[in-house]
Amino acid sequence: MGPSSAFLGVLFLSGTLGPNLPLMTLLPLAAMIGWGVHDFL
């Protein structure tokens, strides 16, 4: 997991939420979530 899962998270969020949220806000959020999961595991 890690960066790759964060990237998949970005694709999933962008596909689910659509253009409602800017991509520049989803990128750091997904990165923090991805690294948080990586550190937790």
Report the C-alpha gap between 22 and 18 in whole angstroms: 9
Angle between helices 23-40 and 3-17 (to 10 degrees): 140
Sign of CA dihedral 13, 15, 16, 22: positive
Report the C-alpha gap between 39 and 16 in whole angstroms: 26
Report the C-alpha gap between 41 and 22 in whole angstroms: 29
Look at residue 25 in the predicted model and tell me its pLDDT.
Answer: 74
| pTM, two decimal places | 0.35
Report the C-alpha gap between 37 and 41 in whole angstroms: 6
Which whole number is the average pLDDT over 1-19?
71
pLDDT beyond 60 at 12: yes
